[in-house]
Amino acid sequence: MQRYFVDSTQISSPDRITVRGDDVHHIKNVMRMKAGDRLICCDNRGTDYLAELVSVSEGEARCRILETTASRGEPRIQVTIAASLTKGDKWEWMLQKGTELGAASFLPFTSARTVVKLDGKKAGKKRERWQRIAKEAAEQSHRGQIPHVEGVTDWRSLLERFSAFDRVLLASEKGGRPLREALQESAEEHLMVVVGPEGGFTETEEREAVAAGAVTVHLGPRILRAETAPLALLSCIHYSYGEMGGEPL
Amino acid sequence: MQRYFVDSTQISSPDRITVRGDDVHHIKNVMRMKAGDRLICCDNRGTDYLAELVSVSEGEARCRILETTASRGEPRIQVTIAASLTKGDKWEWMLQKGTELGAASFLPFTSARTVVKLDGKKAGKKRERWQRIAKEAAEQSHRGQIPHVEGVTDWRSLLERFSAFDRVLLASEKGGRPLREALQESAEEHLMVVVGPEGGFTETEEREAVAAGAVTVHLGPRILRAETAPLALLSCIHYSYGEMGGEPL
């Protein structure tokens, strides 16, 4: 069944939801839904509404709520993926799959070896595009929330963000602790994983990250690409906490 | 340091390795290596040779072995990824990342809802391309072996392959057991994971797979795309067995 994210202003008591924007086009022209057809609206705050389409016009799709349930798609552990910009469409791939795999938010950054540069105007447009990708992936994967995609930040500013997290794990090719060990001692709920660009981090950056509170971790002897590492880390972290197939559905 | 796979015929005692084929072009024209430069040759059987380039001509790069070590990149658990053909470049993307993540081999197949069709001649060319992708990804990720990529098989033939594995896990959107549970009882070393096309498996196919010995598993409440599921499964399986950051490097 199709899922659409709405915000609280679109939900009116006792049982009405009004879908607006691009999703109306999708409902009307892509899915060709008719009155009586069912869909799920999620309020991006953890509640799913099973709804029935009442009527569609150019700008609005009016729905009647049939059932209200808690969204089931959100993991308990909130993992933020801080990932350096990478070339081509790799960052967008990672964003899409990271959303499927349950990431809470994404923080693009540039470090010493980042190859991609984004000027101010381009960066703004990219961010809009990325937020759209996250929304579509969240809908398709049945998430209860759309991961937030932040603006591109620099290395210094990224370091300053570490203290807001219970644990920060920096993916290192040079060694560090096995991921399993780093997670065992952690019973916390807000994690950040930090993954560098194609060329990795400099030794100075690794030292600065550790000084700012990060733990360097590795995922075994194989080298993972910049766009693969966040997905592997996310999968293993959630699995470790029993989120990915750790409990019956 | 650059890594190249060689076969045993290219290694001659007491300490000579002769690289041939496309890799010679890479050594000579891409990396522009000179006599005295170092590289690693892997025999695709678990042994790495640290070598020094002696000379390069058009068709050969002659090297002298400095040191012999066991390849460290191979996981103990051998996981075969049986994945339906998917549209566009998604299968190749999955193949590349699956190789980075340590898959032992890949088995492309077609099932009821597979959208992509490959005729005989195209299938042959595709398989060559896929094997090349696996080789490059194995080199780049420091694998000790190139995963084998089989020819495309059909559903019936795939079912007949199950009995050769200690455990077969079929990714199911409909339910099944949590992955963690399915792995706990398994102390075996040869696993197969089976992932369907974009539209998933039919109920009949899931029944047939279970009858042939598969266990249906899920990775939590989020829906994963066809190209994402094998990577998540691979990451979690290896992590569970202590392979991905389970032990110090």
Residue where a domain stops, chosen among A70, A96, A120:
A70
**Ranges A85-99, A115-129, A201-215, B149-163: which has the least confidence:** A115-129
A65 and A113 together in one domain: no
CB contact under 8 A, A73 and B219: no
pLDDT of B148 over the 70 cut: yes
| Residues A100, B242: C-beta atoms closer than 8 Å | no
A242 vs A216 pLDDT, higher one: A216
Residue A75 touches partner B, C-beta closer than 8 Å: yes
Question: Does B186 map to a domain?
Answer: yes
Residues B148, B125: one domain?
A: yes
B201 in a domain, yes or no? yes
Range of the domain at B158: 78-240
Angstrom CA distances, A200 to A17, A110, B1, B123, stand at: 47, 11, 14, 37
Among the residue ranges A152-166, B212-226, B232-246, the one predicted with the least confidence is B232-246
Whether A117 maps to a domain, the answer reads: yes
Highest mean pLDDT out of A118-122, A149-153, B115-119, B179-183: A149-153
pLDDT at A186: 62
What pLDDT does residue B222 have? 86
* Residue B247 scores a pLDDT above 60: no
Q: Are residues B102 and B52 both part of a single domain? A: no
What's residue B246's pLDDT? 56
Residue A75: is its pLDDT beyond 70? yes
Q: How far apart are CA B167 and CA B68, in angstroms?
A: 34
SS3 A191: strand
pLDDT score of A246 more than 60: no
Same domain, B188 and B234: yes
CATH number at residue B62: 2.40.240.20
* Segment among A61-65, A140-144, A218-222 with least mean pLDDT: A218-222
ipTM of the prediction: 0.85
> Are A142 and B221 an interchain contact pair (Cβ–Cβ within 8 Å)?
yes
Q: What is the pLDDT of residue A20?
A: 92
- Mutate: best of B141, B244, B247, partner A, most A CBs <10 A: B244
Helix (H) or strand (E) run with residue A124 in it: helix A120-140
Please check whether residues B96 and B45 belong to one and the same domain. no
Pairing of strands B153-154, A190-195: unpaired
Structural domains of chain B, count? 2
The helix (H) or strand (E) run that includes residue B107 is strand B105-110
The answer as to whether A246 is a domain residue is no
Mean pLDDT of A63-71: 92
Alpha-carbon distance values, B59 to B22, B42, B56 (Å): 9, 19, 8
For residue B245, what pLDDT band results from cuts at 50, 70 and 90? low
The verdict on residue B248 lying in a domain is no
| Residue ending a domain, choose from A70, A101, A118 | A70
- Domain CATH for A148: 3.40.1280.10
The tally of CA atoms less than 13 A away on the side-chain side of residue B8 is 3
pLDDT value of position A22: 87
In a domain, B95, yes or no: yes
pLDDT of B210 above 50: yes
Which residue, of A70, A102, A117, is where some domain finishes? Answer: A70
Same-domain status, A60 and A101: no
Judged by CB atoms closer than 8 Å, whether chains meet at B224 and A101 is answered as yes
B1 has a chain A CB within 8 A of its CB:
no
pLDDT band for position A232 (50/70/90)? very high
A64 & A101 share domain: no
Nearest residue of A to residue B179, measured between CA atoms = A245
Identify whether residues B151 and B33 lie together within a single domain: no
- My answer on whether B220 and B204 are in the same domain is yes
Question: Would you say residue A16 lies in a domain?
Answer: yes
A173 and A227 share one domain = yes
Tens digits of residue pLDDT in B68-117: 998 887 888 899 999 999 998 999 999 999 999 999 999 999 999 999 98
Q: With pLDDT > 70 as the criterion, what percentage of chain A qualifies?
A: 97
Q: What is the pTM of this model?
A: 0.87
User: Does residue B48 form part of some domain?
Assistant: yes
- B145, B237, B126: which is closest to B192 by C-alpha? B237
Domain match, B25 and B93 both = no
Same domain, B59 and B87: no
Q: How much is the pLDDT for A249?
A: 44
Cβ B236 vs Cβ B219: under 8 Å: yes
Inspect the interface and report whether the beta carbons of A239 and B179 lie closer than 8 Å. Answer: yes
